[in-house]
Amino acid sequence: MSRIALFKKAVHDHYQTNRRELPWRRTRDPYTILVSEVMLQQTQVARVIPKYRAWLDRFPDIAALAEAEPEDVLRAWQGLGYNRRAKALWELARIVTERHQGRLPSSAAELKVLPGVGGYTASAVRVFAADEPLVLIETNIRRACLHHFFPRQAEVPDQELAPILAQALLGEDPREWHYALMDYGAHLGLALKDRNPNRRAAGYRTQSRFKGSVREMRGEILRRLLAGSRSVKEFAGDDRGRAALEALAKEGMIRIAKGKISIISSST
């Protein structure tokens, strides 16, 4: 049996008895799939599930999201971190409403230029919404491929994984195959916790410390603004606070004028 065949057998054997039942796997709606993919970019599945459900209750479609105020969008996002993702989704909804009649484009090439999307997310939407036979490489898929095909090689670029994954995809249902790959890779993440294969990826980076970081302060500022705080003095007392305010303003998340801070509005 070839290495590809052995790899596929391992993936299928695990999936048959350990398939994860996740809410975004029950739909083929491109918008709801996009929401799940953006939420999952930097956040663990267990944290995403309740926020995903609440988000869709509040913004069930692109029109509802496009009509919302950014403050409401950021409030719905609280608890997921990396708040720029929420702003990007809101901007995307407005662009799609204005330029695409409220429907997400039907090609990965058009999707990937929208705010907050990029190449992987665009392809994932097309795979999971329309069964397009596109190769996906994300954390869990990368881990599975590195474990089976590069057990001792370091600094492995995704360009070396893509042809292997393309060959493994042949003859498979793209949607189910990628679900199976992700579930298998997630399993390996637990089974190989102390020797994570992803450390051998060329792009592997350890995450910077969150506690005491500017990133932590950015989230704290938005939380306080959503709770009613408005004074610059409350946050600008040290270098970290000033850096966080500057970054949020530069990204268009907040406005600062006359010593007061406000979250951007739809009319800004």
Average pLDDT over residues 149-153: 95
Active-site choice (37, 110, 155, 251): 37
Regarding whether 9 and 126 lie in a shared domain, the answer is: yes
pLDDT value at position 52?
Answer: 98
For the chain, percent of residues with pLDDT exceeding 70: 99
pLDDT value at position 193?
Answer: 83
Residues facing residue 231 across a β-bridge: 260
pLDDT value at position 122?
Answer: 98
pLDDT tens digits along 200-214: 999 888 777 888 899
User: Which of helix, strand or coil describes residue 168?
Assistant: helix
Regarding whether 77 and 38 lie in a shared domain, the answer is: yes
pLDDT value at position 182?
Answer: 98
Measured CA to CA, the distance from residue 217 to residue 242 in angstroms comes to 10
pLDDT confidence tier of residue 54, bands split at 50, 70 and 90: very high
Domain presence at residue 209: no
Average pLDDT over residues 88-116: 97
Average pLDDT over residues 168-175: 98
pLDDT tens digits along 233-261: 999 888 999 999 999 999 999 999 999 99
Tokens of residue 250, six digits: 């530069």
Residue 169 clears pLDDT 70, i.e. is over it:
yes
Measured CA to CA, the distance from residue 41 to residue 50 in angstroms comes to 16
**What is the number of domains present in the chain?**
3
Read off the CATH number of the domain in which 86 is found: 1.10.340.30
Regarding whether 75 and 194 lie in a shared domain, the answer is: no
Q: Which of 152, 187, 148, 196 is nearest to 168 (CA)?
A: 148
Q: What's the mean per-residue pLDDT of the chain? A: 95
pLDDT value at position 180?
Answer: 98
Residue 164 clears pLDDT 80, i.e. is over it:
yes
Question: Does 246 qualify as catalytic in the annotation?
Answer: no
Containing structural domain, residue 179: 139-200
pLDDT value at position 229?
Answer: 85
